[in-house]
């Protein structure tokens, strides 16, 4: 009888062991699934295995000014039946993402106040798992002339003579485009309408005023290590320029401006003898846009106040330029 019971006892122990292993595997699986579901609703940087689409962020500006409105839209690469969105932000130097309260659709709206702020969007499925998540975009705030009261006064043309300082041509180094084509195609009409709301002219009168100011056939200017190249009607003309001092001008309204003047180093029949920069900045600082005057008579050029071709970085589009002008 003893010999007959031993196999039975062995089989019983084996069955019990298998049952315990199966139970442990089941608990492990349940725990893993629970953790994944919780992470799907969190600000976890890693997309889950449920992700099957890409999200692009549209509407990001080249830069913003303090107080500008940030308007972004999340664009899904394929159709989905889900509408559970969250937007997350993270300041420079932070490791954790924070969910933005009230931003639960596929669009984001907020005020530009933190330079370097990262923003991303995530779409969740019905199981509260991440279906898709965008790459972060970064908000760049550049107030150009400063956001303090003194900087604002200087921009408006109110400053003391001893605040003015010499500037190198490197302050305007870069690739620049004329703003005149954007006026011609109507992109700047929004700017003129905005000026009419606060100014003393109609939108059409502002457009006429700026048309006279912006008109030029030099559609692009490249400045590099003292060399200035004009692009005109498909042709290029270049010359090296050296600093020739500055002049402070007083305008009819009582405000003032500074012309920083550069003289052609070697005579050329193609390039002007003088170029004069005016950009509302009165001391060394990288320029964000400028008005340029050029000609062969230094003193006569200083009298020109109605025609001021204006240039912005060539990597900006019409929306970027409108945003910049509305801020001023």
Chain segment 272-311, per-residue pLDDT in tens: 999 999 999 999 999 999 999 999 999 999 999 999 999 9
Cα–Cα distance measured from residue 283 to residue 166, given in angstroms and rounded to the nearest whole number: 6
Q: pTM above 0.85?
A: no
Tens of pLDDT, residues 15-59: 434 444 444 444 343 333 333 333 344 444 443 334 568 999 999
What pLDDT is stored for residue 141 in this prediction? 85
Strands (E), the chain: 55-58, 69-76, 84-90, 98-99, 107-111, 117-124, 130-133, 137-139, 174-178, 220-224, 227-232, 235-250, 256-264, 274-278, 290-295, 310-313
Q: How confident is the model at residue 218 (pLDDT cuts 50, 70, 90)?
A: very high
Tens of pLDDT, residues 61-73: 877 878 888 999 9
Structure tokens at 246: 């500055």
Per the CB < 8 A criterion, the answer to whether 273 and 239 are in contact is no
Question: CATH homologous superfamily for 149-326?
Answer: Calycin beta-barrel core domain (2.40.128.20)
CB atoms closer than 10 angstroms to residue 281? 22
Say whether pLDDT at 5 is over 90. Answer: no
Residue 243, SS3? strand
CATH topology of domain 55-139: Immunoglobulin-like (2.60.40)
What pLDDT is stored for residue 323 in this prediction? 85
Tens of pLDDT, residues 91-143: 988 999 999 999 989 999 999 989 899 999 999 999 989 999 999 999 988 77
Fold: same for 55-139 and 149-326: no
pLDDT greater at residue 316 or residue 43:
316
Write down the domain spans for the chain. 55-139, 149-326
Tens of pLDDT, residues 146-171: 666 787 888 889 999 999 999 999 99
What pLDDT is stored for residue 53 in this prediction? 84
Residue 28, SS3? helix
Per the CB < 8 A criterion, the answer to whether 237 and 270 are in contact is yes
Least-confidence region, from 62-71, 83-92, 255-264: 62-71
What pLDDT is stored for residue 117 in this prediction? 95
């Amino acid at each position: 009888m003893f010999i007959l019971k031993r196999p039975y006892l062995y089989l019983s122990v084996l069955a019990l062991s298998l049952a315990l292993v199966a139970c442990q595997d089941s608990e492990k699986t349940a725990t893993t699934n629970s953790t994944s579901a919780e992470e799907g609703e969190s600000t976890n940087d890693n997309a889950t295995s449920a992700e099957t689409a890409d999200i692009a962020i549209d509407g990001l500006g080249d830069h913003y000014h303090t107080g500008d409105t940030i308007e972004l839209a999340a664009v899904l690469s394929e159709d989905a039946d889900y509408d559970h969105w969250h937007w997350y932000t993270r300041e420079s130097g932070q490791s954790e993402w924070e969910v933005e309260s009230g931003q639960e659709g596929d669009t984001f709206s907020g005020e530009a106040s933190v330079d370097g702020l990262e923003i991303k969007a995530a779409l969740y499925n019905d199981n509260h798992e991440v279906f898709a998540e965008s790459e972060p975009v970064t908000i760049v705030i550049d107030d150009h002339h400063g956001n303090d009261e003194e900087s604002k006064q200087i921009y408006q043309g109110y400053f003391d003579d001893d605040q003015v300082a010499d500037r190198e041509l490197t302050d305007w180094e870069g690739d620049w485009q004329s703003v005149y084509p954007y006026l011609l195609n109507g992109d700047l009409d929004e700017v003129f309408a905005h000026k009419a709301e606060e100014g003393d002219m109609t939108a059409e009168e502002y457009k006429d005023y700026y048309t006279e100011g912006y008109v030029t056939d030099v559609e692009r200017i490249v400045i590099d290590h003292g060399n200035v190249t004009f692009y005109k009607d498909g042709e290029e003309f270049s010359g090296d320029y050296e600093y020739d001092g500055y002049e402070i001008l007083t305008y009819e309204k009582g405000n003032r401006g500074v012309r920083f003047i550069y003289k052609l180093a070697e005579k050329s029949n193609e390039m002007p003898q003088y170029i004069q920069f005016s950009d509302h900045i009165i001391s060394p600082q990288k320029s964000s846009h400028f008005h340029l005057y050029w000609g062969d008579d230094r003193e006569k050029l200083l009298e020109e106040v109605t025609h001021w071709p204006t240039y912005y970085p060539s990597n900006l589009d019409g929306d970027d330029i409108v945003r910049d002008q509305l801020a001023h």
